[in-house]
Amino acid sequence: MNEKFFDLKKEKQDRMINAALKVFADNGYKHASTDDIVAQAGISKGLLFHYFGSKLGLYTFLYDYSVRFMKLELTTGVPASLTDYFEIRKQIEFAKMQVLKNYPYMQKFLDCCAVENVAEAIDAIKDQRGVIKEVYAGLKDQSDRSLFTDSVSFEKLDAMLDYTVSGLMEAHCREVPFRPESLYEETTSYLDMMKQITYTK
């Protein structure tokens, strides 16, 4: 992590982080423009490179910061004692909502990084690329699968809900302004509906 960057005022840090998250999330590493980032952040390109050295340096910093921030919210937001799969997923979504209040594009950025195909970007984040996926898997493994009806495949249900959550995120990110609370409410409504038809009575 870049210690000099954290000497800046928090408002300026977040302005720079949010601008970079949005540009990388919308364009991927290859097509992300540092000109767009500094324009949205309201800073000079010289200042950006002073703290991060290069586009790759910024991308690497941003990924490390996002993984640390998201992991902390997820691991502290979901109690280890919780075993209801749908309640676990609700708590995951609540933790994500708290993140998105501060960093609206952080989840979309992490999703974009997961499918990044530029070699230098992949190499820069390779050591942490699977961390968030492992956190999600660990939290879901707390669930009591005996609550599901015999006809339900846990793996297929989980994958289906992942696709649903991803689609909802994409749709809500296009709204102006983006409202994390609305995303959370709609997501939990799908979880509640699926709980009613997949659990044994």
Give the tens place of pLDDT for each residue, 4-50: 899 999 999 999 999 999 999 999 999 999 999 999 999 999 999 99
**Residues 81-104 pLDDT 10s:** 999 999 999 999 999 999 999 999
C-alpha to C-alpha distance for 167 and 152, rounded to whole angstroms: 22
Judged by DSSP in three states, 71 sits in helix
The model's pTM is: 0.92
Please indicate whether residue 1 or residue 126 has the higher confidence score (pLDDT). Answer: 126
Return the pLDDT at 1: 54
CA dihedral 20, 25, 26, 29 (to 10 degrees): 80
DSSP-assigned letter for residue 199? B
Ranges of each domain in the chain: 5-198
- Per DSSP, the chain holds a count of helices (H) and strands (E) of 10, 0
Q: How confident is the model at residue 74 (pLDDT cuts 50, 70, 90)?
A: very high
- Longest CA–CA separation in the chain, Å: 62
Q: Domain 5-198's class? A: mainly alpha
- For residue 15, what are the CA distances in angstroms to 11, 129, 141? 6, 24, 36
C-alpha to C-alpha distance for 95 and 75, rounded to whole angstroms: 9
Residue 39 Rama label (left phi>0; alpha psi -120 to 50; beta): alpha
